[in-house]
Amino acid sequence: MTFGNLKSEAGCKELNNFLADNSYVNGYQPSNADIETFNRVGKAPAAKYSHALRWYNHIKSFTDAERKALGDGACPLTTAGTTIAPVKPEEDAEATKIREERLKAYAAKKSTKPALIAKSSIVLDVKPWDDETDMKAMENQVRTIIMEGLVWGASKLVPVGYGINKLQIMCVVEDDKVSVDLLTEKIQDFEDFVQSVDIAAFNKI
């Protein structure tokens, strides 16, 4: 990290970034380096440079006697082009190990979790040609349709008038495997029994 003129916008920004990770200019206690840098800054940084402003106000609060009592410390900001690596405390090795183990356990658990299968519950109305249609035979034909992801359920006959009943039959389908349009087409292929097929109810499970 390089620092330029501390009275400039760029220099103040660099100082603020440095103080985001450091309490003082040099080390963990105030030193002559802080006083020297304070004098180079000249005036309080803008409020947007909160770290630099906090440091500036803190150094400003020192009395002359307190400033003279400060220890020596080389100021890393006195020369443009000086590179500084912020001093950060070393991360605890044990804490790092525990975190990595937890992340691995979470990833393993997530990878073994079964994927959610989208399903739908459908009620179909299968209408015959007339009152002479063998409804039991028609139901048997419908249930001969076998598709991966299709499970037939309960059924009943529902009067529609003039002595004609329609077959109302339930089924559960896996959305990714069963096309409802294809299913109704297969039922309509039983032309000797089926006049039409309608979807009476369609609900996601």
DSSP labels, 70-83? SBP---TTSSTT-B
Task: Determine the pLDDT at residue 84.
Answer: 44
Q: What is the pLDDT of residue 164?
A: 95
Cα→Cα distances 95→91, 104, 179, 192, Å: 8, 14, 52, 74
The pLDDT tens digits of the residues spanning 10-58 come to: 888 888 888 888 888 887 788 888 888 888 888 888 888 888 888 888 8
Residues facing 164 on adjacent strands: 161
pLDDT in tens, 140-184: 999 999 999 999 999 999 999 989 999 999 999 999 999 999 999
Q: Is the pLDDT of residue 1 over 60?
A: no
User: Taking every pair of C-alpha atoms in the chain, what is the biggest distance, in angstroms?
Assistant: 113
In the predicted structure, residue 185 carries a pLDDT above the cut 60: yes
The closest alpha carbon to 78, from 33, 23, 140, 144, belongs to 33
Confidence of residue 71 (pLDDT cuts 50, 70, 90): low
Residue type, 49: Y
Buried b (16+ CB within 10 A) or exposed e, 89-107: eeeeeeeeeeeeeeeeeee
- Each residue's pLDDT tens digit, 77-135: 444 444 444 444 555 687 888 888 888 888 887 777 666 789 999 999 999 999 999 99
Helix axes 32-41, 50-60, angle to 10 degrees: 110
Chain position carrying tokens 């916008």: 9
How many angstroms separate the Cα of 170 from the Cα of each of 103, 135, 182, 184, 191?
45, 16, 16, 13, 20
* Cβ atoms 194, 187 nearer than 8 A: yes
- DSSP string for residues in 33-70: HHHHHHHHH-SPPPTT-HHHHHHHHHHHTS-HHHHHTS
Instruction: Answer for the pair 133, 190: CB distance below 8 angstroms, yes or no.
Output: no
Please state, in angstroms and rounded to a whole number, the distance separating the CA atoms of residues 55 and 67. 14
pTM exceeds 0.75: no
**What is the predicted pLDDT for the residue at 64?**
83
